[in-house]
């Protein structure tokens, strides 16, 4: 059974700004107010890193609560895969501990994963425990024509990339690994005749991926579509800037007009997808495509975690 404790607020596992790094176990227990950049600097001293996309100046609590996960999930997993445990307070100020420092610690309700993407509606995150990885030596950037079928052919092979981003004029792959593995990728990828193969550092890879993926604006959309129908959906996005996680069918972009909003909503529905709209990259939700049955479940959870309505409200209010 998952370890879950529930008690009045006492001392969290990590104090504000604290990092407890377990090198042998390849895990780190961190205060939620620590930024991604601060954690990466601490891990780098041990030859490790946290393979997650996100603004390095943002706190880990913010990145988790907004589910700030990007294309690097193809190679390493997303927050739901990396998180091993959390501590948070509910609306009553009670400290709740879920999960732990081992991978196989869940049976029943997984409150650790429940913290991902909840945007402060159900809890305030205090500490988290995440797995870490060996730091890659360098990276390769590969540019192909904008055809997602290229990725579908490579995923089941030894040339599966660490990340893949589709933009309007190109399909970009990133490979992060040790020097020996990168040498293999360079040799094998040449046979597929890509438009470009370029060596780059880890920092260059992070900057490249961030420039492509983090699309901000007054209104932004996040759409999930079946990966096989990604090209069909993006062909409708003629007026807005967008980028797509080619492996998982996640598309982020700017809502430049009401016509764009309507096109996104209609296009997602036509391919069996779902869409959400937000005020800015880390802003509040404008509209959630949630049916009445789902809303009823979410409202019941809100009342259970925050009966006195002291946390952030639901986007639509309680019925």
Domains parsed from the chain with CATH numbers: 4-134 (3.30.465.10), 138-205 (3.30.70), 220-281 (3.30.70)
pLDDT at 8: 46
| Three-class DSSP category at 130 | strand
**How many angstroms separate the CA atoms of 297 and 205, rounded?**
40
Where b means 16+ CB within 10 Å and e means fewer, 146-155 reads bebebbeebe
DSSP 59: B
Where b means 16+ CB within 10 Å and e means fewer, 98-129 reads bbbbeeebbeeebbbbbbbebbbbbbbbbbbb
Residues with Cβ within 8 Å of 156's Cβ and at least 6 positions away in sequence, in order, are none
Residues with Cβ within 8 Å of 139's Cβ and at least 6 positions away in sequence, in order, are 162, 174, 175, 176, 177, 182, 199, 200, 201, 202, 204, 205
Q: Which of 141, 143, 142, 136 is nearest to 180 (CA)?
A: 136
**pLDDT confidence bin for 146, thresholds 50/70/90:** very high
Q: How far apart, in Å, are the Cα atoms of 319 and each of 292, 300, 304?
A: 11, 10, 15
pTM over 0.75: yes
pLDDT at 182: 95
What is the Cα 284 distance to its own chain's centre?
17
**How many angstroms separate the CA atoms of 52 and 49, rounded?**
9
Give the range among 141-150, 209-218, 223-232 with minimum mean pLDDT.
Answer: 209-218
**pLDDT confidence bin for 2, thresholds 50/70/90:** very low
Q: Which two tokens stand for residue 181?
A: 């593995």
pLDDT at 288: 58
Does the pLDDT of residue 104 top 60, yes or no? no
Contact (Cβ atoms closer than 8 angstroms) between residue 13 and residue 20: yes
Burial (CB < 10 A; 0-12, 13-18, 19+), residue 283, is middle
pLDDT at 299: 92
pLDDT at 22: 61
**pLDDT confidence bin for 3, thresholds 50/70/90:** very low
Q: What is the share, in percent, of the chain residues with pLDDT greater than 90?
A: 64
Other CB atoms within 10 A of residue 140 CB: 22
């Amino acid at each position: 059974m998952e370890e879950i404790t529930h008690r009045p607020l006492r001392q969290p596992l990590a104090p504000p700004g604290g990092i407890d790094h377990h090198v042998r176990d390849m895990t780190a227990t961190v205060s939620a107010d620590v930024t991604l950049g601060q954690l990466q600097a601490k891990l780098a001293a041990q030859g490790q890193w946290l393979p997650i996309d996100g603004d390095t100046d943002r706190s880990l609590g913010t990145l988790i609560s907004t589910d700030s996960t990007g294309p690097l999930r193809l190679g390493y997993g997303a927050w739901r895969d990396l998180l091993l445990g959390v501590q948070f307070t509910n609306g009553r100020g009670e400290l709740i501990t879920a999960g732990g420092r081992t991978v196989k610690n869940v049976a029943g309700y997984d409150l650790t994963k429940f913290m991902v993407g909840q945007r402060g509606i159900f809890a305030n995150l205090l500490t988290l425990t995440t797995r870490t990885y060996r730091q890659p030596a360098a990276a390769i950037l590969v540019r192909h024509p904008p055809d997602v079928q290229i990725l579908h052919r490579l995923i089941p092979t030894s040339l599966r990339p660490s990340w893949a981003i589709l933009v309007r004029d190109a399909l970009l792959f990133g490979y992060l690994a040790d020097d020996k593995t990168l040498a293999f990728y360079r040799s094998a990828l040449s046979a597929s005749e890509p438009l470009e193969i370029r060596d780059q550092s880890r920092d260059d890879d992070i900057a490249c991926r961030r420039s492509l993926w983090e699309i901000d604006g007054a209104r932004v959309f996040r759409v999930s579509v079946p990966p096989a129908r990604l090209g069909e959906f993006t062909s409708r996005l003629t007026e807005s800037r967008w980028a797509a996680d080619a492996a998982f069918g996640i598309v982020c972009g700017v809502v430049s007009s009401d016509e764009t909003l309507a096109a996104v909503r209609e296009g997602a529905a036509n391919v069996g997808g779902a869409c959400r709209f937000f005020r800015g990259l880390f802003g509040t939700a404008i509209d959630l495509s949630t049916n009445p049955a789902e809303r009823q479940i979410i409202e019941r959870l809100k009342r259970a975690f925050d009966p006195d309505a002291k946390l952030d409200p639901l986007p639509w209010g309680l019925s």
